[in-house]
Chain A
Amino acid sequence: MIEAGLKNELQKQGVYVTTLEDLYNWGRANSVWPLTFGLACCAIEMMAASMARFDLARFGAEVFRPSPRQADLMIVAGTVTKKMAPLVVRIYNQMPEPKYVIAMGACAISGGPFKQGYNVLKGVDRYLPVDVAIPGCPPRPEALIHAIMTLQEKILNQKLTGPDRARHLNADVPGEFLVPAYGKQDLEPSKNTEVWQPPAIQR
């Protein structure tokens, strides 16, 4: 590894030194292709973020793909109902690695105002590994842009080798997740315990 100070000095002299890891991550971080996929009102803000006023293209994430096969990022924008949850997981499973998930808005994080309802999932993290969560109801386009920048930072810091390497480079880590089945009252299972464990309550 090259020292940061030496790298800086060399750059001042017009010599650019980098690592393969940095170059690889830099390339990926600046071409995150999200999936065109909206569930509720948060999707309206997602559309606004990608249009002229907020211009998501400045961060290399404007190529919204209509097919999960071409997408890197799933923005879960809106309320995930129990009826929709298996389809969301199936679409995620259809995405090729490396893939990331942003939970956008209160509903996708926790069920939001519908949390006590009989028909709404209490957070998409029950079934999917969420990388970035954006609070808000709905979050402003700036918040979505901030989430994408946070995700880019996360991508830039991923390792290519070693035990803590990125998920898509580790064959032991699953790339597909359990698709819940429709039950008589709730989804079966109601949560994927491999992805999500209820937090311990301390009183």
Chain B
Amino acid sequence: MAELDTSGGGKKGGKIRSKKASTRIDLTAMVDLAFLLITFFIMTTTLAKPKAMDMFMPDKSKPEVQLPVPETRTMTLWLGSNSKIEWFVGKPGGSRPTIDNFGKDGIRKTLVEQNKKIEETHQGPDNFMIVLVKPSDKSTYKDFVNIIDEINIAGIKSYGVVDITPGEVAQLKKDGNY
């Protein structure tokens, strides 16, 4: 099947009998081409779809809706240069900040541990940890995305991004992370 009959007219001289030509064509090459194009279009469409991460910022236009936050439930993270993090729980200046880095055994473990500890030591329905992220001017955008990602992984219910203060920058500088 599937071939065009290309042989000649047949017997010469004899009765001219028109040969019944097959109407089927070889579709193999056509199918090959079609699948090649399909593959091309699949590759260019689905891979090009951008993925995104949701990001919420606190509303600056309404300062009156800010809730009082107990300091014992607050964890503050400073992002320094070279992907270094300094964090502490509680009041600023209360305890010396711990220097940490990104990764499975770094900040992710810390976030989960601190979250558990705060949930255990606090009573009531609102006993979750609140994380304040303060990126310094020397931190990169990648660090920032990473830390938001780690917060999402650790399942922290409440977090905010706040501007860093000069006093905090001075502390980062002292620790050599700025």
Genuine A/B complex: no
Which residues does B use to contact A, with CB under 8 Å?
none
